[in-house]
Amino acid sequence: MVPADSDLPDPSGPSELPEVDASPSDDLAPTTPTEPRREAFPPPPARRMPILPVAIALVAILAGGALFMSGYSLGAKAAWQPGTPASEDQVFQPFWDAYHSIDQRYAGGDIDHNKLVQGAIKGMIDALGDPYSSYLTSEEYRNSLQDINGQFEGIGAEIASQAADGTQGCPTLGPDCHLVVIAPIDGSPAKAAGLLPGDFVLATDGVSLDGLTVDGAREKIRGPKGTVVTLTVQRGANAPFPLAITRDVIQQREVVSKEFAGGKVGYVGLGGFSDTGADAVIAALKAHVDAGRTKLILDLRGDPGGFVTAARTVASQFISDGVIFWEQDAQGTQTPTKAEPGGVATSPELTIVCLIDGGSASASEIVAGALQDSKRATIVGQTSFGKGTVQQWQELPGEGGAFKLTIARWLTPDKHWVHKVGLTPDIVVEIPDGTPADKDPTLDKALEVLGESARAESRIAA
């Protein structure tokens, strides 16, 4: 997953049709979209990770901005006419009383009115109790835009919030809600330092993370290349210990292409739904099809999501026509998003297997759900994360920052809502505790479904 999945603002106004979703957080270099887009990210566990599924809604990659949460879409700059509607005077009277009292009577020092307004906006968004809706300051928002392009400065780890009962997605960190590591990114400082999936991060540089959201914690962990952050880590029942990590520029590799079974099976693994990631999937699939391979594996395990537009593009490579997903807005209106023509792997002669797990969220679930409902692929693995909402970024004027708001639900082609439920694979694969890192029962099952048993890679595609 936007994960993790945000979208850039569109000056023309909010988009009407989400271009679909997706979770944990990562980073990329910002680009300016030509049209409004939504993201589908939220925050899931790493591939083959033997811990509970991550609530994509709150997974964030330690380096990028608040992104991978199921289904995002770029929003718009908005400047409504100032003033309180007459019909809401009574509702807003306590707010204005408090504001004017602070403005006229506060004696503790100078008042930063911008910070007062930003705090009020943050309070409104937080009051929704929605882990996927959040307010970011201007600086935080600029950082978040990097996530979508796959590059950021930080330690390189996917994170989420986890409650005491093991469920992910609790909104505020504290005694009953901890920051959990979903997975360190391959080649990252976090991995080199020994940070492991399932580790709890309790503090940064000696300061507790209690009271923060996942986004807020991510900002404490990120920082300029070459600087050091010391995490207080709790691993299992052991006593907490300090772990110093030197930050670096993290480049997320979104697409991996390989061959299995002596070159007879083409494999494409996708780690995030950015526009560049979708383009790389198309190129990898085309290379496999041009090479004559008729058996393909699409691996969405540990993918927290990203842009809904990218999800639509990826699904359309396999599905030639029909609905990819439905979007249901606040009024209950359902709008279909259909497949784009020209997919490179739509031939019925191609046999497709799609892999998912508890870390597959948002945009990943949009693609897997479309493949399952259309019977275009066999879904293999474990139940997915379960993020069935779409968020849109709205940039505020000046240095007002931006907020991400849940603006719709997304439904599979058969109108199933996977939120907090997840997608159930056609073939469920149990991963025993203690499975060695070099063993992959889910991939082995996929090869078996395709009529192959050898898991030897012939080579990695360029």
Spatial separation of the C-alpha atoms in residues 255 and 275, rounded to whole Å? 12
Spatial separation of the C-alpha atoms in residues 385 and 130, rounded to whole Å? 16
Spatial separation of the C-alpha atoms in residues 259 and 455, rounded to whole Å? 9
Spatial separation of the C-alpha atoms in residues 18 and 51, rounded to whole Å? 31
* Phi then psi dihedrals of residue 212, to 5 deg: -95, 160
Taking alpha carbons only, the member of 307, 332, 68 closest to residue 183 is 68
Asked if 303 and 273 count as a contact pair (C-beta separation under 8 A), the reply is yes
Of 362, 364, 374, 384, the active-site residue reads: 362
Cα-only R_g, the chain: 22
DSSP type of residue 425: P
186 labelled catalytic: no
Taking alpha carbons only, the member of 305, 299, 303, 301 closest to residue 285 is 299
- Distance from chain centroid for Cα 80: 30
Residue type, 147: D
453 labelled catalytic: no
Of 220, 258, 295, 387, the active-site residue reads: 387
Task: Determine how β-strand 351-356 pairs with β-strand 295-299.
Answer: parallel
Q: Coil, strand or helix: which one is 110? A: coil
Q: Coil, strand or helix: which one is 184? A: strand
Task: Determine how β-strand 241-246 pairs with β-strand 402-411.
Answer: unpaired
Asked if 297 and 267 count as a contact pair (C-beta separation under 8 A), the reply is yes
Of 5, 215, 275, 373, the active-site residue reads: 373
Q: Where are the beta strands (DSSP E) in 115-236?
A: 134-136, 151-154, 157-163, 177-184, 200-204, 207-208, 228-234
387 labelled catalytic: yes
- Helix 113-127 crosses helix 89-105 at what angle (to 10 degrees)? 140
Taking alpha carbons only, the member of 152, 130, 140, 133 closest to residue 61 is 152
Asked if 97 and 375 count as a contact pair (C-beta separation under 8 A), the reply is no
Cα–Cα distances in angstroms (integers) from residue 30 to residues 130, 147, 275, in the given order: 26, 8, 11
DSSP conformation letters of 35-97: S--EEEE---PPTT--SPPP-GGG-EEBTB-S--EEEEE--BB--PPSS--GGGHHHHHHHHH
Q: Which residues pair with 234 in a beta bridge?
A: 200
Spatial separation of the C-alpha atoms in residues 145 and 32, rounded to whole Å? 10
Residues with catalytic roles: 362, 373, 387
